[in-house]
Amino acid sequence: MSEAIQEKQATEQPTQPTQPTQEIVVDDSNVHAGYANFCRVASTPEELILDLGLNPNPYATGKVKVQVSQRIIMNHFSAKRLLSAVATAVNRHEQTFGKLETDVRKRVRAPEAAQSQSES
């Protein structure tokens, strides 16, 4: 095929319309920060519900009352994007600082006095 024909075909092809883009500007001037070391996840066909709270004694045994202080309700599309963003952040953290152990019992160290008594 000659160069002239190739150039003509290239110019005749319709150009793809550009998709409009969205620039997100985050305004956190009225944000209320909270801390949570407890999360419960529930779901309906339309929404995902995250209940966040503070477990005052994560090492306790038996019944522990956890006061839920924040409830986040989102659709499953947003939840999937959140899952991806959090997984990326945790992976980066573990690459930098080492593996995170989620089982509290495996992270607790026995007091030194108890260890020295058991060694005797």
Task: Please report, for the chain, how many H helices and E strands are present, in that order.
Answer: 4, 3
Q: Name the residue with higher pLDDT: 107 or 81.
A: 81
Say which residue the tokens 């150009």 belong to. 15
Using CA atoms in the order 75, 79, 81, 82, what is the torsion angle rounded to 10 degrees? Answer: 140
Share of the chain above pLDDT 70, in %: 80
pLDDT for the residue 3: 59
pLDDT for the residue 81: 97
Q: 94-98: long-range contacts (C-beta < 8 A, 24 or more apart)?
A: none
**Range in 70-74, 97-101, 103-107 with the lowest mean pLDDT:** 103-107
Using CA atoms in the order 62, 67, 72, 73, what is the torsion angle rounded to 10 degrees? Answer: 70
Is the confidence at residue 114, as pLDDT, over 60?
no
Classified as helix, coil or strand, 59 is: coil
Mean pLDDT on 85-101? 97
The model's pLDDT over 18-35, given as tens digits with 9 standing for 90+, comes to 888 999 999 999 998 999
Q: Name the residue with higher pLDDT: 5 or 106.
A: 106
Q: Which residues touch 60 (CB under 8 Å, ≥6 apart)?
A: none
Is the confidence at residue 61, as pLDDT, over 70?
yes
pLDDT for the residue 10: 56
